[in-house]
């Protein structure tokens, strides 16, 4: 940031003045959420809907999320053991 200021570059950075460490918490939660959707797109094949109709697409999405939860639970159990 100091280099940018020395070169008269205005930074567009949001300040977190409300609580300490909020930015790190936000980044961690964002990563967790992105992992779910990344897994769903690659392994779960929801990159492009295979079904027509909101109800069927919604059911498929819920099925993929349930599969991800089962996969994640297996990982969490293995870590706890």
Q: Would you state the structure tokens that stand for residue 23, as one six-digit string?
A: 């930015």
Q: Is residue 63 part of a domain?
A: yes
Q: Is residue 3 part of a domain?
A: no
Please give the tally of structural domains in the chain: 1
pLDDT at 25: 82
Q: Is residue 10 part of a domain?
A: no
Residue count (the chain): 81
DSSP string, 1-56: -HHHHHTTPPP------SSTTHHHHHHHHHHHHHHHHHHHHHTS--SS--S-SHHH
pLDDT at 22: 65
Q: Is residue 22 part of a domain?
A: yes
> Looking at per-residue confidence, does 81 or 30 come out higher?
30
Q: Is residue 4 part of a domain?
A: no
Q: Is residue 76 part of a domain?
A: yes
Q: Is residue 55 part of a domain?
A: yes
Q: Is the pLDDT of residue 14 over 90?
A: no
pLDDT at 61: 94
Range of the domain at 50: 16-80
What is the distance between the alpha carbons of residues 79 and 73, in angstroms, rounded to a whole number? 10
């Amino acid at each position: 940031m100091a280099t940018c200021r020395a070169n008269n570059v205005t930074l567009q950075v949001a300040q977190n003045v409300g609580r300490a460490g909020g930015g790190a918490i936000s980044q961690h939660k964002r990563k967790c959420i992105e992992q779910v959707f990344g897994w769903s797109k690659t392994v779960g094949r929801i990159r492009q809907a295979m079904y027509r109709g909101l109800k069927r697409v919604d059911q498929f999405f819920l099925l993929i999320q349930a599969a991800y939860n089962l996969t994640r639970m297996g990982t969490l159990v293995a870590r706890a053991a």
